[in-house]
Structure 1
Amino acid sequence: MRLFAISDIHVDYDDNAKWVGALSRSDYRDDTLMVAGDISDRLPVLRWCLRELSARFRNTLFVPGNHELWVVRDTPQQHSLDKFELVAGAATEAGASMQPLRHDDLMIVPLLGWYDFSFGFPCDMLRRAWMDFIACRWPNGMTEPEVSRHFSALNPTQVPADVQHVVTFSHFMPRLDLMPAWIPQAQRKLYPVLGATRIDSELRQLGARTHVYGHTHINRQKTIDGITYINNAFGYPHEHHFGTRGLLEVSVAQESEA
Structure 2
Amino acid sequence: MKLYAIADIHLSYQSNREAWAELKEFPDDGLIIAGDIGESAAQLETAFEKATSCFRHVFWCPGNHELYTLGSVTDLKGEEKYNECVEIARKYGVHNPEDDFFRWEGEGGPVLIAPIFTLYDYSFRPDHVSRENALSWAEEEDIVATDEAVLHPDPHPSRDAWCSHLVSKFSSKLAAAQEEHGIPLVIINHWPLREDLVYIPRIPRFSLWCGTKETHEWHRRFNVKVVVSGHLHVRRTDWKDGVRFEEVSLGYPRQWKDVRDSGLDVNSLLREILPGPKPPPEGESPTQWRRWG
Matched, 1:224 2:243: no
Structure 2 residue 100 is the aligned partner of structure 1 residue 83:
no
Q: Does 1:116 align with 2:108?
A: no
Judge conservation of contact 2:34–2:190 (CA < 8 Å) in 1: yes
1:174-216 alpha-carbon deviations (Å, 9 max, x no partner): 1111134xx53x6211111111122344444331121011100
Task: Supply the distance in 2 between the matched residues of 1:71 and 1:95 (Cα, whole angstroms).
Answer: 25
Q: Which amino acid aligns with 1:47?
A: E
Q: Post-superposition shift, 1:162? A: 4.8
- Structure 2 CA distance for aligned equivalents of residues 162 and 44 of structure 1: 36
1:217 Cα deviation after fit? 0.5
Alignment of 1:28-43 (within 5 A): 28-43=26-41
Which 5+ residue runs of structure 2 have no aligned equivalent?
Answer: 126-130, 284-293
Aligned equivalent of 2:69, options 67, 71, 77: 71
Task: Please give the alpha-carbon distance, in whole angstroms, between the structure 2 residues aligned to 1:256 and 1:108.
Answer: 19
TM-score for both structures, normalised by structure 1 = 0.88
Runs in 1 of length 4+ with deviation above 6 angstroms? none
Q: Is the 8 A contact 1:114 1:151 kept in 2?
A: yes
Deviation at 1:222, TM superposition (A): 0.8
The aligned length equals: 252
Once residues 131 and 200 of structure 1 are traced to their aligned partners in structure 2, the CA distance between those partners, rounded to angstroms, is 25
The correspondence for 1:179, drawn from 198, 222, 237, is 198
The alpha-carbon distance between structure 1 residues 137 and 162, as it changes in their structure 2 partners (threshold 3 A), is closer
- Give TM-score, length-normalised by structure 2: 0.78
1:168 to 178, 181, 187: 187
Partner of 1:247: 270
- CA–CA distance in structure 2, aligned partners of residues 43 and 127 of structure 1: 31
2:143 and 2:74 map into 1 onto residues whose CA distance is: 22
Q: Residues 255 and 195 from structure 1, CA distance in 2 versus in 1: closer, same or farther, beyond 3 angstroms?
A: farther
| Deviation by residue 1:37-86 (Cα, 9 ceiling, x = unmatched) | 0001100111121111011111100000000000123555x321110010
Alpha-carbon distance between aligned partners in 2 of 1:56 and 1:224, rounded to the nearest angstrom: 32
**Structure 2 Cα separation of the partners of residues 205 and 51 of structure 1:** 36
- The gaps in structure 1 that reach 5 residues or longer are none
Q: Equivalent residue for 1:152?
A: 167
The CA RMSD over aligned residues, in Å, is: 2.4
Aligned residues with identical type, % of pairs: 24
